[in-house]
Structure 1
Amino acid sequence: MACFSRIISFSLLFLLIALACEARVLLQSSGFVQTRNTQFILNGSPFFFNGFNSYWMMNVAADLSQRSKVSDVFSQATAARLSVCRTWAFNDGGTQALQISPGVYDERVFQGLDFVISEARKNGVRLILSLSNNYKDFGGRPQYVSWARNAGAPLNSDDDFYTNEVVKGYYKNHVKRVLTRINTITRVAYKDDPTIMAWELINEPRCQVDYSGKTLNGWIQEMASFVKSIDSNHLLTVGMEGFYGDSMPEKKGINPGYQVGTDFISNHLIKEIDFTTIHAYPDIWLSGKDDSSQMAFMLRWMTSHLTDSETIIKKPMVFSEFGKSSKDPGYSPSARDSFLNAVYTNIYNFARSGGIGGGLVWQLMAEGMQSYDDGYEIVLSQNPSTSSVITQQSNKMAPLDRV
């Protein structure tokens, strides 16, 4: 019996080794997503996708007892044929931080991110990983500035994030730490992992002290060059919402009545930036306007940015955040479905011309995550009509890879 058990153990061991080797071969053969002119390319063919945001994944996966929620969302996303996920690769200071203080990391939380990448790989989902936040949620710019101020740096506002050498040093250290991280599950360095589609410098950068976009431009140039010096495999984007700035003053009329210190054109023309992004929340940006006005704005916003991406910037575009909140007056699941249908129709029509890679709905969650609710949450298993709308878009986008 002991001998028989030993044979089974050795057989199991060899099976596990074989599976690990097979997974590694599949990983390497899957290739990195690249760009060619205004298209995304994978293994020489066009790459179109339908995707989603789930910013919370690392935070939840840091708790071993909660990891099934990450697995559930990836499983449900795969069933809906969603192939790209955008999520956070940062949590600075505060509760359950990845970066506890400058250069000091919680290995438990990092292993949560390892798990997210591993689960994405198992499910054939590519990741866009954001490296910081404009807002105080999960630390972001305010936390970096606070750290530097506490270290004695003379700082006036959170906008010094873009210009202060101490703060920029903190950010670069974080970038290097993440990109060179060796995944404890897959044993692959992040910078060598094709599961990661792209890095994002910062979620929704804004700069109130300089509405021209020039201050942000200098920061993007410096940080994009730094990222590429470490990792030439992966695509890189800024993480912008799409607000126009001073480089083309006539475009400012497309903005929803205000500026945020970015310049969609000049910020994306930087050589090291590989694709453009836009976000859109007409229910917030045009609060008080009726649905038809908000959808008219949405179409103008998408059309203008796609045209500029194709003809001026000459890079592909991703519509990387959009959604409809259950907190809006008059909300209903059918209203959300109609909104998503309209957005998806525009994305599909634009994709057929080759200029947009896909869209990422905000946002998917698992059951039992009410503490993360923001009004935009979608639990596919509990929302069959919305799940159907999302799956239909995936089924429409997928054949474009072969066109």
Structure 2
Amino acid sequence: MRIIPFLFITFATIYSQNGFIKTAEDKFFLNNREFKFIGFNAYYLQSEAGKTNRRYIVEDVFQSAKSIGVNVIRTWAFYESFSFSNPSVIRKSPYEIQEPGLIALDYVLNKARENGIYLILTLSNNYSAFGGIPQYLEWANRSQINGSRNHVHNDFFSSDSIKQWFK
């Protein structure tokens, strides 16, 4: 009896045709066909796209990737900072989203689409250079949520306030 629901879930996963890559057992599928990929990490694409005089870097990455058969790139879809002068920043505070940073991310998404490349979008990380989890902890310590100024890494995953900010 337990096998039938599992088989149904697997079948539904493989035969989804919404343009998203799906998994079944140890394989990837796209529109009912096995999807094989070659890819690399280019974390900086959104950051470069935020500076209009550096967008050529984004274009070069996608064109070069396409020319050698790359079909997947992992890149960052976040940038948190207090900086008021950096046009790449997406979030300047827990409650303040910056449109120029989102426009830069949209530029990356469009260049990927134009070149037939799929993206793995990373939503945060452990490094402070582009914000990430350390930025959320700094915001939490400044606001003294839960009466504390000493939030640590694991609070990112357990503090209701920090989790709400991330959403």
State whether structure 2 residue 65 is matched by structure 1 residue 74. Answer: no
Tell me what 1:135 maps to: 127
CA deviation after TM superposition for structure 1 residue 30, in Å: 7.5
Match of 1:124 among 113, 116, 130: 116
Shift of 1:158: 2.6
Indicate whether 1:48 and 2:36 are aligned.
Answer: yes
User: Which SS does the other structure have where 2:38 is aligned?
Assistant: strand
TM-score calculated relative to the size of structure 1: 0.35
SS of residue matched to 1:158: coil
Q: Which has the higher helix share?
A: 1
**% identity of equivalent residues:** 38
Q: Which residue of 2 aligns with 1:39?
A: 27
On the 8 A contact 2:78/2:123 being kept in 1, the answer is: yes
Greater Cα radius of gyration, structure 1 or 2: 1
Distance 2:59 2:151 in 1: 43
- The size of the alignment, in residue pairs, is 144
Residue aligning to 1:65: 53
Structure 2: segments with no counterpart, 5+ residues? 1-16
> In the alignment, does 2:116 pair up with 1:113?
no
Indicate if the aligned counterparts of 2:90 and 2:101 stay in contact, CA closer than 8 A. yes
Find the aligned partners of 2:99 and 2:58 in 1 and give their Cα distance.
18
Residue number in structure 2 paired with 1:168:
163
For CA contacts below 8 A with separation 6 or more, give which structure has more relative contact order.
Answer: 1
Shift of 1:87: 0.3
Task: Classify the secondary structure of the residue corresponding to 1:91.
Answer: coil
**Cα drift, residue 151 of structure 1:** 1.3
The whole-number CA distance in structure 1 between the counterparts of 2:140 and 2:132 is 13
Cα distance in 2 between the residues matched to 1:131 and 1:166: 18
* Deviation per residue, 1:233-288 (Å, 9 max, x gap): xxxxxxxxxxxxxxxxxxxxxxxxxxxxxxxxxxxxxxxxxxxxxxxxxxxxxxxx
Q: Secondary structure at the match of 2:124?
A: coil
Pair 156,64 (structure 1): closer, same or farther in 2 beyond 3 Å:
closer
Q: Tell me the CA shift for residue 161 of structure 1.
A: 1.2
> CA shift at 1:156, angstroms?
3.7
**Post-superposition offset of 1:128:** 0.2
Q: Are residues 50 and 158 of structure 1, via their aligned partners in 2, closer, same or farther at CA, if it must alter by over 3 Å?
A: same
Output the CA distance in 2 between the equivalents of 1:83 and 1:159: 34
Equivalent position SS for 1:100:
strand
For each residue in 1:267-313, what CA deviation from the matched residue of structure 2 results, as whole angstroms up to 9, or x when unmatched? Answer: xxxxxxxxxxxxxxxxxxxxxxxxxxxxxxxxxxxxxxxxxxxxxxx
With normalisation by structure 2, the TM-score equals: 0.81
Name the amino acid aligned to 1:67: R
**2:69 alignment partner AA:** R
Partners of 2:95 and 2:69 in 1: how far apart? Answer: 38
Aligned equivalents of 1:124 and 1:146: distance in 2? 38
Matches for 1:195-344 after TM superposition, within 5 Å: none
